[in-house]
């Protein structure tokens, strides 16, 4: 191995190690976060040791479902964010149930968080009944079906602002070029870089 290759390899490994270290700084400690500011400060309001309950993660939508109670008083706890084994979930304010809380997985965690939500919409489908003799329709009606739509969202835990991840909102939050239309994968990479820069002690999240 030449000296130049060895030096390049050292810089490459150092960069990988630094990125992993910075990403580790962005991962909040495990626990329950009752406020957005608690997540921004990476200070859980309730430790797992203080909680009991029943919850599970769906295999298809990766949502966390369940409920949580305090061990001492058995009071219901409704956290905004649940972090478990380095993975965080954000409470879905729309997908609610009287007995179960729904939490969407956070795809990115940092000064800009990214999460994906699923929304169900009713769709009316026309249905016709045909005469088997002449093939002409003799009855027409509509039936209602439900379709699922996914939406990628951005969330700033310091201001508790939520926005759909569009090129315009992405540019407003990160200071990127507003004249460029980006794919979702490109914006995810940009937000990851933005969060890493913040973890290194660089620029602060943009505020309006």
Q: How far is CA 101 from CA 9, 78, 152, 203, 206, in A?
A: 48, 8, 20, 35, 31
**Tens digits of residue pLDDT in 154-180:** 999 999 999 999 999 999 998 887 667
Q: Using 50, 70 and 90 to split pLDDT, how confident is the model at 96?
A: low
Let me know the angle formed at the C-alpha of 188 by 31 and 12, rounded to the nearest 5 degrees: 90
Does pLDDT of 15 surpass 90?
A: no
25 vs 196: which has the higher pLDDT: 196
What average pLDDT does the segment 72-78 reach? Answer: 88
Local confidence band at 135 (pLDDT 50, 70, 90 cut-offs): low
Taking a C-beta distance cutoff of 8 angstroms, is the pair 128, 140 a contact?
Answer: yes
Average pLDDT over residues 73-81: 90
How high is the pLDDT of residue 46?
93
Q: What pLDDT is stored for residue 129 in this prediction?
A: 67
At 18 the pLDDT is: 41
Residues in CB range of 26: below 8 A, 6 or more apart: 109, 110, 195, 196, 198, 199
* Whether pLDDT at 101 is above 50: yes
| Mean of the per-residue pLDDT values of the chain | 78
- Band of residue 59 on the pLDDT scale cut at 50, 70, 90: confident
Q: Which two tokens stand for residue 102?
A: 């729904």
* 74 compared with 178, residue with greater pLDDT: 74
| pLDDT given at position 44 | 94
Share of the chain above pLDDT 90, in %: 39
Distance CA 172, CA 208 (A): 9
Rounded to the nearest 5 degrees, what angle is found at the Cα of 88, between the Cα atoms of 86 and 92? 170
In whole angstroms, give the CA distance from residue 208 to residue 204: 12
* pTM as predicted: 0.72
pLDDT band at 14 (very low <50, low <70, confident <90, very high): very low
């Amino acid at each position: 191995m030449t000296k130049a290759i060895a030096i390049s390899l050292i810089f490459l490994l150092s960069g990988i190690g630094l990125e992993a270290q910075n990403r580790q700084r962005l991962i909040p400690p495990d626990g329950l976060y009752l406020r957005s500011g608690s997540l921004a400060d990476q200070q859980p309001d309730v430790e797992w040791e203080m909680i009991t309950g029943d919850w599970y993660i769906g295999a298809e939508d990766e949502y966390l479902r369940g409920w949580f109670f305090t061990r001492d008083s058995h009071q219901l706890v409704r956290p905004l964010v649940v972090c478990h084994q380095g993975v965080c979930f954000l409470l879905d304010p729309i997908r609610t149930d009287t007995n179960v809380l729904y939490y969407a997985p956070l795809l990115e965690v940092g000064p800009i968080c990214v999460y994906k939500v699923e929304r169900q919409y009713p769709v009316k489908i026309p249905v016709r009944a045909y005469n088997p003799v002449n093939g002409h329709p003799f009855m027409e009606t509509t039936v209602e079906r439900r379709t699922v739509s996914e939406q990628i969202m951005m969330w700033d835990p310091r201001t508790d602002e939520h926005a759909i991840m569009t090129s315009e909102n992405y540019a407003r939050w990160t200071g990127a070029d507003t004249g460029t239309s980006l794919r979702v994968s490109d914006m995810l990479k940009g937000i990851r870089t933005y969060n890493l820069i913040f973890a290194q002690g660089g620029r602060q999240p943009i505020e309006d």
